[in-house]
Homo-oligomer: A and B are copies of this chain.
Amino acid sequence: MMNVRIGIVDDHPLLIKGLKGMLEQHSGIEITDTYQSGKELLAGLKVAQPDVLLLDIQLQGQSGDELMPLLNKQYPNMMVIALTNMEHEYYIKNMLQNGLMGYVLKTSNESVLLAAIQAVLKGSKYFDPAIRKIAAKVQSGITQQVLLTAREKEILQLITEDLTSQEIADRIFINKKTVEAHRLHLLQKLGVKTSASLVKKAIDMGLMK
């Protein structure tokens, strides 16, 4: 394998340490930087950029899919591979639209990760076998992605925090009827008829933690 400098972003030090030890046994691979948060990453990249970045999505603070647009814009030559447990269409689509080159699940083994690294170095995209079906669907544009507006996400969050529409309205200074309209749109977008199953479905789809 050609010489490659790799960066790792993950909030699990145990995983970083393990991954580092593992990857460095391969000649040509060098782990140049590891970061435990988005903040650390952004600071570190100003100093030096790796060729390939392994990026977890679930990070405390700024999440991977919030970071991705920034990375794509500021460091377009850095190949980013998502290394995560999130296998929801929502994230795969979001990340791909922002220049992600590879997607590897943490449940995969070493050979998959190495294959992904080699692929993106050649400029090709790489998807974990376990998510190829979803990735193909997403890339073909067949999916009609459920996209929530900022306001809808905000309402959804407050709904899970045990607030009624009236309480939400008071909190964010809009009419109660408007909150109910947002609720209706949430129900329609996720294809359910009760707020209870809305929450379940949103969690299942990865729209919220």
Binding site for B on A (CB under 8 A): 11-15, 17-22, 83, 106-110, 113, 159-164, 192-200, 203
Contacts and interface: CB of A to CB of B under 8 A. Distances in A.
Contacts of A15: 12, 14-15, 18, 106
Contacts of A162: 192-194, 196-197
Contact of A197 (B17, B21, B159, B193): B159
Nearest to A192: B162
Number of copies of this kind of chain in the complex: 2
Contacts of A110: 13-14, 17
A58 to B, nearest CB: 9
A14 B14 CA distance: 11
Contacts of A200: 160, 199, 203
Given A195-B196, A199-B199, 6 more contacts: A12-B15, A14-B113, A17-B22, A18-B20, A160-B200, A196-B198
Contacts of A164: 193-194
Q: Which of A110, A159, A194 has the most CB of B within 10 A?
A: A194
A207 to B, nearest CB: 12
Contacts of A197: 159-162, 199
Contacts of A108: 13-14
28 contacts: A12-B15, A12-B106, A12-B107, A13-B107, A13-B109, A14-B19, A14-B108, A14-B109, A14-B110, A14-B113, A15-B15, A15-B106, A17-B22, A17-B109, A18-B21, A18-B22, A21-B21, A21-B22, A159-B196, A161-B197, A162-B192, A162-B193, A162-B197, A164-B193, A194-B195, A195-B196, A197-B199, A199-B200
A19 to B, nearest CB: 5
Contacts of A19: 14, 18
